[in-house]
Amino acid sequence: MKLVILDRDGVINFDSDQFIKNPAEWRPIPGSLEAIASLNQAGYRVVVASNQSGVGRGLFDMATLNAIHAKMHKLLAQHGGRVDAVFFCPHAADSSCVCRKPRAGLFREIALRYHIDLVGVPAVGDSLRDLQAAQAAGARPLLVKTGKGLRTLEAGELPPGTRVFEDLAEVVRTLIEEA
């Protein structure tokens, strides 16, 4: 099985320092929905692994998070794409949970659900914690410059072997060419 793991905010949609708190605030980054559709057409399964501490902070509830994801799924379908599953950590940043990135808990859940070893599986993120979680799970960390990506790149502490791309569309073109 070919699998790609994507962070959500900053990779698929525009991020906000005030959090994406409702469906109206969820806006796709140009080219991201088409990129996911291209992955699907190339035989990849696409899953999302996302910290959603806004739930734990009380900024929005699970019904609102589900509505945000419903919007994402609907817009993806309009572009011929799909995300097979969304794995998320609802806990606040000060939580000691195992699922909050940079810990690898979400990635371990993905591995269990799909009965797959994540070694070498592309994992696309825009923050250091996305890349660290990928590395901890054995996945291949890929940084996009969208979202917090430029700040992450400028900080200069990327895990060894991290590849850097302009955006998700460039990641997908490269993955398909290299397949």
pLDDT digits (tens, 9 = 90+) for 71-129: 999 999 999 999 999 999 999 988 899 999 999 999 999 999 999 999 999 999 999 99
CATH (domain of 122):
3.40.50.1000
Which sequence positions are flagged as catalytic?
Answer: 7, 9
At 138-157, the pLDDT tens digits run 999 999 999 999 999 999 89
Q: Pull the structure tokens for residue 90.
A: 């609802």
Q: Measuring CA to CA, how many Å separate 108 from each of 5, 7, 18, 19, 94?
A: 12, 15, 28, 25, 21
Above 90 in pLDDT, residue 179?
Answer: no
Stretch 34-59: mean pLDDT, rounded? 97
Domain count, the chain: 1
Dist. CA 72–CA 8, nearest whole Å:
10
Phi, psi of 140, rounded to the nearest 5 degrees? -95, 110
Calculate Rg over the CA atoms of the chain.
15
Residue in the block written with tokens 């708190």: 21
Please give the mean pLDDT across all residues of the chain: 97
Looking at residue 127, its pLDDT comes to 98
Q: Of the candidates 125, 127, 121, which has an alpha carbon nearest to the alpha carbon of residue 139?
A: 121
Residue 141, domain extent: 2-178
* Helix pair 32-41, 168-178: axis angle to 10 deg: 20
